[in-house]
Amino acid sequence: MSVEIVVPEVGESIVDARVARWLKREGDVVSAGEALVELETDKIDVEVSAPRAGVLAKIAHGDGDDVKIGEVLGVIEPGSAAELRGAGEQEPRGAGEPRGAGEPRGAGADASRAAATPSARRLAREQNVEIESVRSDGPRVTKADVERSLGRDDAEPHAEAPAKPAAQSAPSARPQTTPVSPAGDRREERQRMSRRRATIARRLVEAQQTAAMLTTFNEVDMTVVMELRARQKEAFKARHGISLGIASFFVKASVAALREFPRLNAEVQGDEMVLKHYYDIGVAVGAAEGLVVPVLRDVQLMSFAAIEHGIREFARKANDGSLTLEDLRGGTFSITNGGVYGSLMSTPILNPPQVGILGLHAIKERPAGVGGEIRLRPMMYTALTYDHRIVDGSDAVRFLVRIKELVEDPAALLLDS
CATH of residue 100's domain is: 2.40.50.100
Do residues 130 and 83 both lie within one domain? no
Do residues 15 and 121 both lie within one domain? no
Do residues 292 and 398 both lie within one domain? yes
At residue 301, the pLDDT reads 95
- Assigned domain for 235 exists: yes
At residue 99, the pLDDT reads 38
State the Cα–Cα distance between residues 17 and 15, nearest whole angstrom. Answer: 7
Do residues 376 and 297 both lie within one domain? yes
Is the separation of the CB atoms in 366 and 376 below 8 Å? Answer: yes
Domain end: 71, 93, 111, which one? 111
Bridge-based pairing state of the strands 333-337 and 281-283:
parallel
Provide φ and ψ at 73, rounded to 5°: -90, -35
- Quote the domain boundaries for residue 63: 3-111
- Assigned domain for 206 exists: no
Cis geometry, peptide bond prior to residue 171 (ω within 30 degrees of 0): no
Q: What does the longest C-alpha to C-alpha distance in the chain come to?
A: 93
Catalytic residues: 388, 392
At residue 184, the pLDDT reads 62
Do residues 93 and 237 both lie within one domain? no
Do residues 226 and 362 both lie within one domain? yes
pTM surpassing 0.95? no
pLDDT along the chain (417 residues), means of 10: 86 77 90 89 82 91 88 86 49 44 39 61 79 78 83 50 42 53 72 78 82 95 95 94 94 97 96 96 84 93 96 90 85 95 93 95 94 94 97 97 96 73
At residue 278, the pLDDT reads 96
- Assigned domain for 205 exists: no
Do residues 340 and 270 both lie within one domain? yes
- Assigned domain for 314 exists: yes
- Assigned domain for 184 exists: yes
SS3 236: helix
Sign of CA dihedral 260, 261, 263, 266: negative
Per DSSP, 338 falls in state: G
| Closest listed residue to residue 38, CA positions, set 17, 12, 9 | 17
Q: Secondary structure of 201-219 in the HEC alphabet? A: HHHHHHHHHHCCEEEEEEE
Residues, the chain, total? 417
Counting the structural domains of the chain, the total is 3
Q: What radius of gyration do the chain's Cα atoms show?
A: 25
Domain end: 83, 111, 139, which one? 111
Domain end: 192, 223, 245, which one? 192
Do residues 353 and 252 both lie within one domain? yes
State the Cα–Cα distance between residues 51 and 68, nearest whole angstrom. Answer: 19
Do residues 324 and 410 both lie within one domain? yes
At residue 114, the pLDDT reads 45
CATH of residue 233's domain is: 3.30.559.10
Do residues 254 and 278 both lie within one domain? yes
Do residues 33 and 61 both lie within one domain? yes
Contacts of 373 (CB under 8 A, 6+ apart): none
Do residues 155 and 240 both lie within one domain? no
Q: Secondary structure of 376-414 in the HEC alphabet? A: EEEEEEEEEEEECCCCCHHHHHHHHHHHHHHHHCCHHHH
| DSSP states along 127-155 | TT--GGG---SSSSB-HHHHHHHTT-TT-
State the Cα–Cα distance between residues 161 and 135, nearest whole angstrom. Answer: 23
CA dihedral defined by 335, 285, 316, 414, rounded to 10 degrees? -20
- Assigned domain for 148 exists: yes
Bridge-based pairing state of the strands 272-275 and 266-269:
antiparallel
- Assigned domain for 225 exists: yes
